[in-house]
Structures are given as C-alpha cells and as structure tokens.
Amino acid sequence: MTALPALNMGPAANAFRKEVRDWLTKHWTPEKQAAHLRKPFKDRGYDNEFSKLMGRDGWIGVGWPKEFGGQGRSASEQIAFVTEVANSGAPAHAHNTSESIVAQALFLHGTKEQQDQWLPAIRNGECFFALGYSEPEAGSDLAALRTRAVRDGDHWVVNGQKLWSTGGDKADYMWLAVRTDPEAKKHAGISVLMVDLHSPGVTIRPSMALYGKTFSAQFYDNVRVPAKNMVGAVNNGWKVITDALAAERVMIGATRMAGLERAFDHLTEYLKTAVVGGKALKNDPVIRDRIGALAADLEVARQFQIRNARLVEQSKVPIHEAAMGKVFTSELQERLGQAALDILGSGGLLSEDSASAPVGEMEQLLRHSIMGMIGGGTNEIQRNVIAQRGLELPR
Amino acid sequence: MSSSKSHQTEGVSDAERGLLRDSVRELLLKRWPPGHAVERSGNAEAIAALWRDLAGQGLASLGADPAEAGLREILLVFEELGRASCPAPLLGAVGANLALAGQHSNAMRAMLEDLHQGKAMVALALGAFDGDGAAGQVETRGEMLSGKISFVEGAQTITHFVILTGRPAGVAVVASDAPGLKIQITPGLAVPPFSELTFDDTPATRLDLSPKALADIALVTRLACAGRALGAAERAFELAVDNAKIRKQFGQLIGQFQAVQHKLANCLISLDGARLALEAAAEARDNDNPDWHVFAASALAFAGPALRAVSIETHRALGAIGYAEEHEAPRHFRRVHADLARFGGVRGARAVLADFTLGPAA
C-alpha cells in the first residue's frame, strides 16, 4: 500500500514491476529479512550473498545494454526496478557502485579485455567497488585532487589519501581518481584506476558517519596497480568520471525517492490509527496540513524523477535537470525528517532498533538527509550547475 | 459535460501542443502587447475585441469537446494568458463549455453559439463549489436566484454569468443586465479587480448537473488559474534572468554573484516542479485516471507557495527596476498571488491530500 496514487509509467514498466516484485517475494523471504535486521545497523543494506543471488537470476545490470549481458531495460523500467527493490528493503548496496558507475564507465571507455574481465564479475554479484574521489583538499572542487600515480613499467605507483568513500571498508576494489600529470591544467591531468584494496600499501580507516554507517579514508603508500587497470586513456579521467556520473544521477535519485516514499507510507500508516494523550493524531489540523504539504512535495519529486528518466530514454543527458531533482529530493528528505520529529515528538527520536519507536526510521532518515545534500556534489554546487547550465548565467 | 463522459484527448501530440502554444503566444503578442497590457486591462472595448480574435482562433470553445482539446491544452492556453497579463474571459468560457456542451436547452445552445463566435462573454462563479467558503453562494427558487457571491473575475466586461449552484445541484445562466442583479467592484491585489454579485430574485436559466460533474468543473477552473499563475511567474522570472545577464553592479554582472545564481536556481526548481505537477494532473484527467483529483491537489498544494516564492524572488533579483507599475513584473506579481490564493488555496489542496493519505478527520 502506498500513500500516494501509483504512478503510471507505461505498460512495459508496470509489467516489469510485477515481475520484479514476484521475484523479491520469493527470494527476499521473511526469514532473510529477520536475519538481516539482526545485523548491526551499520551493516544493513549490504549482503554479498544476496548480491550473488540477484546476479545469478539476472537482476544486476537490468539497464545494461544486451551486448554486455544486461537486460537493456529502459530508464522507466530501471526506475520501477530500483523502486521495487528499495520498497522491499532487500540489500543491494554491495553491488550498486559496481553496477551503476563502474560498469557505465567500462561500457564507454573500457577496453575489450577490461569489459570481458570485469563486467561478468560485476553482473554476477562477485565484484564490489567503492568510489575513491574526494580528498582533504578536493571535495566540491574534485578536479583539485592530488593523489599521484606515476608509471613504473607495467604498473602505476599510487601515493596519496582519499576520504569519505561510502562502503570503502566493505568493498574489494576502489574506483580511484588519480593525478597522472601534475603539470597539466587540473581537469586535464586526471586518470582513473581500478585498485585492488587488498594490495600492499593500502590502509583503510573507516569512520562512523552521522547516518549510522561507515565511510572510509584510505591511504595509498607506493601501491602498485597493473597498468591494464587504467580505464580510459591516460589523463582522460575527468571525462570517464563525468560520463559515468550523468547516467548514475538518475538512478541515485530513484533510490532516494523510493526510500522517501517508503518512509512517508510508514508515517501515514502510523498516523491513521495513532492515539496520543487521548487524541487521534490524524484529526490534528496542523498534522493534516503538514502531511498534505509533504504529499504534494513527494509527488513533485516523483515528477522530477520521471522527467529525468524520459530524457535518458530520448538519449539526452540530463545535467541541470538531474541537479534539480537531486536538490529537491534531498532537501525534501530533510523536510520529511524534520516534520516527523514535529509530528511524533519525543517518540520520533527513537530509532528502528527501539521496540517502542512509533515509526523507527524517521530520525535516521533525518540524519541520512545530510548525506543526500552533500554527497555526489553539494546542493550548492548543484545550484551553480542549474544557474550556469540551465539558465546560462555568467560564471 | 456529464461526469460519465470520457476526457480522453485523442490525437493531440506534443508537437501539436507546441504549435498551439506558439500560435496563442503570437496572437497575444500582436493583439495584447506587453506595452499596452496595463492600460488596456480596464478597457471593456479592448477586451471584447480581443475576445473576438480569440474566438476566431477557436479558443472560445475550449472544453466543449474533450476529443479536440483536453485539460493539457486548456492549461497551456491559460499559461499564455498569464504570460501576456491578458484578462480575456476564458475561465468563464471553459466553465460554460464544460457545463453546457451537449445540453439540449435552446437558450443554453444559443448562448454557447454566441460564446464560440465571440459575441458573448461569460464570467464564472463557482458559488457552492468555490472551495473558499467566503465566496458565498446563491439560493435557487424555481428559475430565480437570491444571494451573494464574491471574488468573481471579469464581471465588468461580460454578457453572461454562469453560476454553479449547490441545492439543487446545477448551473444557472444569468444575463449581466438581468433585473435584481447588482455588480459591485471590489478593488484589491487582483487586476482587473474582482466583483461582488448580489442576486435579488434574479431570473436565470437553470440546468441540473451532478455534484460530481460540478466539482470536476471547479477543479478544472482551479488548475486553469494555477496554469495562468505559472505563465505569469515564468514570464517575470525570464525578465529577472535577462536582467541578471546585463545588469552590472560592483563592476560585474549581477548574474555572476552566487547569491543571485542560487536564488534564480531555486526559482527554476519551483517553476519546473509546478509545471511538471500541473501537467501530470492534466494528463491524469485526460486519461480518466480515477485519482486525478489527488494529482490536481498535489499540483495546487505545491504551486501555491512555490510560485508565490518565485514571484517574490524575481522581484528581489530585479530590484527597483521591476517595482514600477509600468514595468511588466508588478502585474505578474498580482496575477500569481491572486490566482493562487483563490478557491481554497493551498490549505484546501493540502486538506484533500490529507484526506487521501490519512482518511477523513473525525
């Protein structure tokens, strides 16, 4: 049951949605769900074995071109897929980065050998990447990165430090942006390497982020990476990174959107019957007005999502449109989290691990919203993109 | 239109919608140019002449045949009226067409024929279906009306009123010069101003319609006004963006300041969000989606605060340049606020969404 009317994304996406739902009902069983919930919160969402199961049955790479072993599904179908997986709570974080970002880059910039070696492993749910982009002096200004790679025979030798890599402590490989030409203009001297995190010289230091899961700093100390693991030409890494991110933003938005709808559904389901202090919360006019406003915002967020999918299906690359969806949806998550605290009061402070929590995920949703507003390019940078690319305002 | 009739718009493609938009924009630029919009807004002769031109383009029959033009096309035309600050009485025409098309009364058919030829002009009063209880309503005794209805637009220039009635549910058509009808202009933010209509045993031609059909007409009216507000907000925003690209202060273009860029980026998010939500609502109605009123409420609940914020922010980006009434921006400010506060406004739309998501309040 969803609080908002179902979106009609077309017959193909609607039929595909049912197919996905049926598979999840069969394989994401109540027993598996209960076992998953017994894990510490920081590990939830990650399950390598479930990733392998999804890979076995063809559910990794549903949007990949068929020539690479994917299902060649449209953007609308992919959104339907992502929504169903998120709604079910099935753990798909482990393979997300590999499937969406690494594979996209390999389609466009990988050699035949790289495609043959890496894509089947990713598709089978056996190859887990994290992103090594940010550094102490390169956050929003990613092109200022300084982690250095120097060629030495058949290898690149990497030295430097990366920060804030989501899932970095759980991954096997890092999709690493490195500087290969320090003399070139900053966007021109970057390359991308696929680095085995078990290599000598790699130190990973996880830290707990506000949302309850880890992100990692990594230190690279004379780490030798086979030259065949460079994706794209030397010093062409900026294009490799941005090409992969364009398509990815749409799917990131779909995942976030599905999570918001799920949280809103749980909140409204609770409010339908909740009685606090002898009063039914659903009769409170302030709560009703707040819920009405949030429902409207959720609908608009869905529409931004659909527009981005349509643009991708028309072979267009949504740049400022994707930025709009990202800004709106991530800030809506913050509003939803804040509203839940206002509505639920003290009970809203309790996490999903508290037995007496009225709607347990709301405080976590609020903590998580910060990540949405700063991760993948801060919302301030996104607003620059909207102004300069969408409105053509001067730099 | 009866409530059971399909709203399916057959054969209108996106390309044809684009052509419709272009042709309406071109016509309005010629016949209602921005430089004369303020001065002509109170000129009944000018409005009547424009109405004949619009009727000549077939726009006076919008809403009469859903197979030719659905809600998407209606909203598109209202957006253009908003852009042009044009007070053409299209709201009344759409309301009349939705309510009366297909009816067999000779008087109603004659009135519609005159309307479509540009000879008649209609103002719409939603009365019991207004969404704002302060709008009032009329009592019906046989073919006579009594009562008071406020916030009626275009009353100074039209030939007929179409009034939605609650008990019995239906529509009443009243000539603007009917005995017992008093029209009082009520100045305020809206330009042209609203009027208050007082009926004292005023003769009317009546027609029964289901409450569902009447609620449908009222909701189309609300969305049309939101579409008009979108057009006005978007036009003012374009002026602000253009200004930011040429206006220099402190030795640089103001569009280079991040404070201005972010303000305008927020406006674009609001404008696009409102447009997408309105289009989704219109498409849902055109496709006979049984939940279309929920999509409509979402669009109205979002567009209200979002477009009003755009209107405020564009004025801040324009600065004092846009504050003079002879500039285009003030008329758009008035239009946006007047259209979005009507018919129950944001509060009413959120209440519909609360009913849908939580169930009705006890």
Region label for A318, one of left (φ > 0), alpha (ψ between -120 and 50) or beta (otherwise):
beta
**How many inter-chain contacts (A to B, CB under 8 Å) are there?**
138
pLDDT digits (tens, 9 = 90+) for B177-188: 999 999 999 999
- C-alpha–C-alpha distance, residues A218 and A140, integer Å: 19
Name residues whose C-beta falls within 8 Å of residue B4's C-beta, 6 or more positions apart in sequence: none
- C-alpha–C-alpha distance, residues B76 and B82, integer Å: 10
pLDDT band at A216 (very low <50, low <70, confident <90, very high): very high
Q: Is the predicted pLDDT of residue A108 greater than 70, yes or no?
A: yes
- Residues in A touching B265 (Cβ below 8 Å): 327, 382-384, 386-387, 390-391
Residue spans of the domains in chain A: they are 11-123, 129-235, 239-390
Residue spans of the domains in chain B: they are 14-116, 122-209, 212-358
- C-alpha–C-alpha distance, residues B253 and B250, integer Å: 8
Nearest CA in chain A to B248: A394
3-state helix, strand, coil in chain A (%, to 5): 55, 15, 30
pLDDT digits (tens, 9 = 90+) for B324-333: 988 999 999 9
- Contact call for residues B74 and B63 (beta carbons, < 8 A): yes
H or E element that contains A158: strand A155-166
Region label for B145, one of left (φ > 0), alpha (ψ between -120 and 50) or beta (otherwise):
beta
- Contact call for residues B268 and A392 (beta carbons, < 8 A): no
The mean of the pLDDT values for chain B is: 94
**Across residues A218-231, what is the average pLDDT?**
98
Q: What is the pLDDT of residue A292?
A: 98
Cis peptide before B330 (omega within 30 of 0): no
Q: Is the predicted pLDDT of residue A251 greater than 80, yes or no?
A: no
ipTM: 0.94
Q: Spot the catalytic one: A84, A248, A261, A363.
A: A248
Nearest CB neighbour to A383, from listed B265, B277, B297: B265
Better-scored residue on pLDDT, A25 or A252: A25
Cβ–Cβ of B353/A395 closer than 8 Å?
no
Nearest CB neighbour to A303, from listed B265, B277, B291: B277
Q: Which residues pair with A131 in a beta bridge?
A: A175
- Contact call for residues B193 and B187 (beta carbons, < 8 A): yes
Nearest CA in chain A to B357: A3
pLDDT band at A363 (very low <50, low <70, confident <90, very high): very high
Q: What is the pTM of this model?
A: 0.93
Interface contact A4, partner B, CB < 8 A = yes
Distance from CA of A390 to the nearest CA of B (A): 8
> Dihedral sign, CA of A27, A30, A31, A34?
positive
Give the CATH architecture of domain A239-390.
Answer: Up-down Bundle (1.20)
- The CATH superfamily holding the domain B212-358 is Butyryl-CoA Dehydrogenase, subunit A, domain 3 (1.20.140.10)
Nearest CA in chain B to A264: B357
Beta-carbon-side half-sphere exposure of residue B7 (alpha carbons within 13 Å): 24
In words, the CATH class of domain A11-123 is mainly alpha
Instruction: Determine whether domain B14-116 maps to CATH 1.10.540.
Output: yes
Q: Is the predicted pLDDT of residue B140 greater than 80, yes or no?
A: yes
CATH number of A129-235: 2.40.110.10
Q: Which residues of B63-101 are buried (b: 16+ CB within 10 A; e: fewer)?
A: bbebeebbbbbbbbbbbbbbbbbbbbbbbbbbbbbbbbb
| Whether A361 is catalytic | no
- Contact call for residues A343 and A271 (beta carbons, < 8 A): yes
Nearest CB neighbour to B302, from listed A3, A296, A320: A296
N-term to C-term CA, chain B: 34
Q: Which of A34-43, A123-132, B8-17, B241-250 has the lowest mean pLDDT?
A: B8-17
Distance from CA of A257 to the nearest CA of B (A): 15
Interface contact A300, partner B, CB < 8 A = yes
- C-alpha–C-alpha distance, residues B58 and B77, integer Å: 12
pLDDT digits (tens, 9 = 90+) for A20-67: 999 999 999 999 999 999 999 999 999 999 999 999 999 999 989 999
- The CATH number of B122-209 is which of 1.10.357.10, 3.40.50.1820, 3.30.365.10, 2.40.110.10? 2.40.110.10
Nearest CA in chain B to A386: B265
Nearest CB neighbour to B276, from listed A271, A304, A383: A304
Q: Is the predicted pLDDT of residue B2 greater than 60, yes or no?
A: no
